[in-house]
Chains A and B, each alone.
Chain A
Amino acid sequence: MCPVLVADGVRKTYGDTVALDDVSLTISEGEVLALVGPNGAGKTTLLRSLTGTVTPDDGMIQVLGEDPASVRRDRLGVLPQAFSPPDRLTARELLHYYAGLYDDARDPDALLDSIGVADSGSTRYEHLSGGQQRRVCLGSALVNDPRVLLLDEPTTGIDPAGRRTVREQIASLADGGATILVTTHDMDEAERIADRVALLADGRIRATGTPSSLIDEHGGPPRVIVEVEDEVSSDDRAHVDSAATAIRERGFDCTTTGDGRVVVTDVRPEAIESIVAGLSAVDVSYEGLEWRRPELEDAYLEIAGEHVSADAVLSPDSARPADGRGGDGS
Chain B
Amino acid sequence: MSRIGRLRSEFGVAWRSFLRRRTAVFFTFLFPTILVVIFGALVRTDPGSGGLFAESPAYYVPGYLAVVVLFTPLSRMSSEVARHREGNRFEKLATTPLRRWEWLAAHVAVNVAIVSLATALILGLVVALTGAPLGDLWTLPLFVVPGIVAFCGVGTILGRVTDSRDGAVAASNTIGLPLLFLSNTFVTPSQLPGWFQPIVNLSPLTYFARGARDAMYGGGHPWIDLGVLVAFAVVAFVVGAVAIPETD
Contact = CB atoms under 8 A, between A and B. Distances in A.
Contacts of B21: 88
Interface string A66-108: 0000000110111111111110110001101111111100000
Interface stretch (B11-19, B135-143, B222-230): B11-19
B12 A53 contact: no
A81 B16 contact: no
A100 B95 contact: no
A297 to B, nearest CB: 28
B91 A53 contact: yes
Interface stretch (B81-89, B181-189, B210-218, B233-241): B81-89
Nearest to B97: A73
Contact of A85 (B16, B89, B96): B89
Task: Give the top 4 A-B pairs by smallest Cβ distance, nearest first.
Answer: A100-B9, A84-B87, A88-B20, A78-B95
B17 A102 contact: no
Given A93-B13, A101-B9, 17 more contacts: A51-B91, A53-B95, A79-B92, A83-B88, A83-B92, A88-B16, A88-B21, A89-B17, A93-B16, A100-B5, A100-B6, A100-B9, A100-B12, A101-B6, A103-B5, A140-B92, A144-B96
Contacts of B6: 100-101
A225 B51 CA distance: 87
Most buried by A among B2, B8, B21: B2
Contacts of B9: 96-97, 99-101
Nearest to A126: B20
A83 B247 CA distance: 11
A48 interface: yes
B94 to A, nearest CB: 5
Nearest to A98: B96
Most buried by A among B9, B10, B13: B13
B41 interface: no
A77 to B, nearest CB: 8
B95 A51 contact: yes
B12 A97 contact: yes
Interface in B57-86: 86
13 contacts: A48-B247, A53-B246, A73-B95, A73-B96, A80-B88, A82-B88, A84-B89, A86-B89, A88-B16, A88-B20, A89-B17, A97-B12, A100-B6
A53 B20 CA distance: 31
Contacts of A272: none
Contacts of B97: 73-74, 101-103
Contacts of B17: 86, 88-89
A54 interface: yes
B134 interface: no
Contacts of B127: none
A64 B219 CA distance: 62
B98 interface: yes
A83 B98 contact: no
A88 B1 CA distance: 27
Contact of B8 (A93, A100, A144): A100
B184 to A, nearest CB: 37
Contacts of B87: 82-85
Contacts of B8: 100
Contacts of B93: 101
A310 B86 CA distance: 38
A53 B96 contact: no
A229 to B, nearest CB: 46
B2 A103 contact: yes
Given A83-B89, A97-B9, A103-B5, A76 B95 contact: yes
B67 to A, nearest CB: 26
B171 to A, nearest CB: 23
Contacts of A124: 20
